[in-house]
Amino acid sequence: MDRLVNTVRPYAWGSTTAIPELLGVAPTGEPQAEMWMGAHPGAPSRTARGPLNEVVDADPVRELGAAAVDKFGPRLPFLLKVLAAGAPLSLQVHPDLAQAREGFAAEEAAGVPIDAPHRNYKDANHKPELICALTPFHGLCGFRDPIAAADTMAALGVDSLKPYVDLLHAHPAEAALREVLTALLTADRREMAHTVAEAAQAAARLGGEFATYAQIAHHYPDDPGVLAAMLLNQVTLQPGEALYLGAGVPHAYLDGLGVEIMANSDNVLRCGLTPKHVDVPELLRIVLFEPIDPGVLRPEASASGEEVYDTPIDEFRLSRFVRPEGAVPTDVTAGTPQILLAVAGHPVVGAETLAPGESVFVPAGETTELSGTGTVFRATVVA
């Protein structure tokens, strides 16, 4: 197996303290948003054998197993992260596989540079993802009932929000949500900035659930995404709880520390809360305009002590082991590639003792035993 040295990405929304506290190191004062574990070319984990993407490229069948290569191709299908949100991330959606392939092909044919700021599709893959909380974790996920959203907007007492309140009452749910999101994202930005400011002031006065919108507006004071956020469900995850985010579901992480796993893709269409490009027509093609229950996931325990987070896709499978003092060793050998990440205690993988925040890559088929005490997340695939 390979002990991993992982890159921490310093995105502006990152917490300055959460990842350093996990790793047991002093904060630098700079935001530390995501620690990447995997073979993504943007920031591959480093091993004694070289960058993990190069290790996989050199012998995909040996590293990933024949079944995974046959099903997903010669690359690690998932990317594992520790995510530390100190401020809201952009409100966003991800395409399904067919939409990603179509969008990528269209931009390639049009000659849009892969690093162009207005490019939507960086690859031809979908990006389902799962976030599991390590601390209380707050976010927005999926549309709420439009009448509930209308009630929230109406309670703010802002005259310029009344047309959106009326639209949310006047149509079937899908049509109402589509029309209001479209109106918010295409309105005059100067007029919208005034409405957002009024709404934020009212939200701060009201407090309670409205405080979330005041917090978002503090970071994005003139962004229509502040109002779009009112269309979505607010979700709070307790440690160990998770949220699965499928294609077309609008979402944003607001604050907290978690373990995130996703298909190995970088396809994001933004709806707001960002200075980056928002492609409204393409976004409206991708968004799933229907109210949903966010569906908080809790792990299902097996006889071996492995607690599995059940998701409907195969590119990743996330589970955890919570090992008390005196627990017997557990065989975690698998015919698929694995990354094992410690988040508490000092568990032992094979002969490697891991401190919180440390991780190892285990090639497919390599005999592996988990012992010691603490909490370990296990990332692999279903092949």
| Contact in structure between 153 and 168 (CB atoms under 8 Å) | yes
Annotated catalytic residue 270: yes
Q: Are 226 and 184 in contact (CB under 8 A)?
A: no
230 in Cβ contact with 152 (< 8 Å): yes
DSSP class per residue in 248-287: T--EEEEEEEEEEEEES----EEEESSSS---HHHHHHH-
Tokens read off for 162: 């009344």
Task: Report d(CA 26, CA 9) in Å as an integer.
Answer: 16
What 3-state class would DSSP assign to 56?
helix
Instruction: Tell the burial category of 232 from Cβ atoms under 10 Å away from its Cβ (0-12, 13-18, 19+).
Output: buried
Active site residue: 62, 144, 189, 270, which one? 270
Residue 164: C-alpha distances to residues 208, 221, 231 (Å): 22, 19, 11
| Element containing residue 62 per DSSP (H, E) | helix 60-64
CA-derived radius of gyration, the chain? 22
Q: Which residues belong to the active site?
A: 270
